[in-house]
Structure 1
């Protein structure tokens, strides 16, 4: 069914893991299992983190040691949480690879370019030092270029997220920050999550930006955020977004939003957080990897040898790392809550959403109320006006017509009908 002037609904195809079966798993057991599996897989595939090995079969990345940089971030959190000290085998080997990457003349050349990748060069230098592998010559060069204002990275005209990211890297690594670059807390006040975005119209790239701002401002769960009222609002935003991407089976964002949920509300948990860990545990491969949205088992099945290994790594490493990061932060905070069971969240398919809406309209089941906002977001973003109308009727049946997300979705419908 189309909307006004042929506006057709557009629901993305669902991966198989978006339609889970069975009861949710124990949250602690699921998180521990995915962390153990992820660490085992990363250990077994460590060679693929090196730029030259990656480039044998995969497209060259703008920042060649990018995967290694992500891996060092995980090493830091594992060390901070006590789950895996930096002197253990996997962290030691990862640091060896990162040290060799920093010693490559290409790295120094990239640092001297002071282009858009300059902050990532500084971050690799800083993480190596933070983890016991200082690079004094590179650090001195980086500090000099930074102090000279090379590249203009600290200037107010540069994008907000890039400046906040740079300031976080500098503070974490002990680099002196130039005077024109405000502190993380000041920059945060101008950032996407602090400006209270309307989740109904938040894009995927904006959601990634929101998660990364929260990573930096909380130091990956290492420091509290703002005042109680602001934190409570962000917790609700993250909850809605987690449900949206859980319903879609978008495991990258499920992992990142689980990390945000833990950073904003240690020990709180809840049914949706438990369902998120269940989804990651059930979607992971038998080897411990967690597939990304671009991973296709049918494509992998047609490959052999190094080509298969490269495809597997390229389509799984980021989601596996994101999952391990979220699990490491959770391990640092301690065990989660034991939430009571609630009604399942429908997956992001129109028939499932409309079936849920009709049930709620008929029964006025208050236990279903937490799913209202994410389902409205899914319907608006799929431009499915008939399904959206049914979910809005369910909202009215539950007496939730004045909820902010309900009002935003209703305004969208009204505007489309003119």
Structure 2
């Protein structure tokens, strides 16, 4: 496929293939008792589940209910909510780690989808009133995310987001040549928080929007050349989250390279050789996040280029087929449970 041949339909198929892989690997996202042990590895338990939920919640707001991928995302979000005991397990985490922020950050994703647990919210609000919680030292980008999680979860406090934003790498408008992997991930998450994960493009201040529109293509090319597929997909989400819709011709080559790196199963490696280099499919932990980001980037790009999407309706569609009909998922037609 040439760069000029990559259209909206082709981008959507990248997302469809990614969703086929995610639907086939739900067992790998499931929680077990290891998620509650004293030496639990959050990065391999709660983090993947929370990222699955966030991607699916975002996709549901970016695609219309008539789109089968909307239904697939709803199915996976329902699965993730059930894995938390419909919110009950957050209360268990609150009792064992009252000052950890990751439970609230994950819970807030479900709260944004209308899935709430009043008991957990009351317990979290009590902790959030303490000086210990408010004074926890965090990197600015993480702090911005925690503030957004509080707001999503009904915890009200004076908004300090604007001040925190200017302490982030992106908020300081740094010299563009200082871009590297860590700053790349930081800037993408700042944009995610500012725009409610791409739902409100006007959330990006004008000076940041101008800066990003100018330098993002160069940074994206750098990441693609380095076969950093995960960060490349996050940058494509950012491109689709700015006030001005992305210019498809400017990003066709990037999408062609992403599609070429994606395996037939829909899996996208985090980095390194992709399917176009006949590399073996990576294991779950080395491809789940990049595959999520491919699904997210595709949905966000399609929405901005077509103007479709409805974040007020939870109804889903039928099953969908990935590229060349390689896989199929099923949606039962129900909305996400409340």
Which bin holds the TM-score, normalised by the shorter protein? 0.7 to 0.9
With normalisation by structure 1, the TM-score equals 0.63
Any idea what the Cα deviations from partners look like across 1:350-374, whole Å, max 9, x if unmatched?
A: xxxxxxxxxxxxxxxxxxxxxxxxx
1:54/1:48 CA distance change after superposition, 3 Å: farther
Structure 1 residue 226: Cα displacement: 4.8
- Match for residue 297 of structure 2? 326
Paired positions, count: 298
1:279/1:54 CA distance change after superposition, 3 Å: farther
1:72/1:94 contact within 8 Å kept: yes
Q: Which structure has the higher relative contact order (CA within 8 Å, separation 6+)?
A: 2
CA distance in structure 1 between the aligned counterparts of 2:28 and 2:58, rounded to whole angstroms: 21
1:87/1:205 CA distance change after superposition, 3 Å: closer
- Match for residue 188 of structure 1? 165
Any idea what the Cα deviations from partners look like across 1:81-116, whole Å, max 9, x if unmatched?
A: 23458993552354234333356987544323234x
1:209 aligns with 2:186: yes
1:178 aligns with 2:169: no
DSSP 3-state at the match of 2:171? helix
1:258/1:101 CA distance change after superposition, 3 Å: same
- Match for residue 78 of structure 2? 95
Aligned to 1:136, which of 106, 114, 118?
118
1:79 aligns with 2:57: no
Structure 1 residue 70: Cα displacement: 0.7
2:195/2:241 contact within 8 Å kept: yes
DSSP 3-state at the match of 1:51? coil
Any idea what the Cα deviations from partners look like across 1:217-258, whole Å, max 9, x if unmatched?
A: 122222214554442112223222111101212101110001
Structure 1 residue 328: Cα displacement: 1.9
List gaps (5 residues or longer) in structure 2: 308-338
Structure 1 residue 209: Cα displacement: 0.6
Any idea what the Cα deviations from partners look like across 1:336-358, whole Å, max 9, x if unmatched?
A: 9xxxxxxxxxxxxxxxxxxxxxx
Structure 1 residue 36: Cα displacement: 0.8
DSSP 3-state at the match of 1:111? helix
CA distance in structure 2 between the aligned counterparts of 1:29 and 1:163, rounded to whole angstroms: 37
Structure-to-structure mapping, 1:158-173, within 5 angstroms: 158-171=138-151, 173=152
1:126 aligns with 2:108: yes
List gaps (5 residues or longer) in structure 1: 1-20, 302-307, 337-418
1:28/1:266 CA distance change after superposition, 3 Å: farther
Aligned to 2:211, which of 218, 223, 233?
233
Structure-to-structure mapping, 1:8-87, within 5 angstroms: 22-52=2-32, 61-62=41-42, 64-83=45-64
1:243/1:323 CA distance change after superposition, 3 Å: same
1:250/1:293 contact within 8 Å kept: yes
2:4/2:253 contact within 8 Å kept: yes
- Match for residue 390 of structure 1? none
- Match for residue 135 of structure 2? 155
DSSP 3-state at the match of 1:88? helix
1:226/1:51 CA distance change after superposition, 3 Å: closer
With normalisation by structure 2, the TM-score equals 0.76
1:227/1:127 CA distance change after superposition, 3 Å: closer
CA distance in structure 1 between the aligned counterparts of 2:33 and 2:269, rounded to whole angstroms: 20
1:285 aligns with 2:263: yes
1:114 aligns with 2:94: no
2:121/2:153 contact within 8 Å kept: no
- Match for residue 253 of structure 1? 231
CA distance in structure 1 between the aligned counterparts of 2:137 and 2:47, rounded to whole angstroms: 25
1:71/1:321 contact within 8 Å kept: yes
1:141/1:99 CA distance change after superposition, 3 Å: farther
Structure 1 residue 62: Cα displacement: 2.1
CA distance in structure 1 between the aligned counterparts of 2:149 and 2:42, rounded to whole angstroms: 19
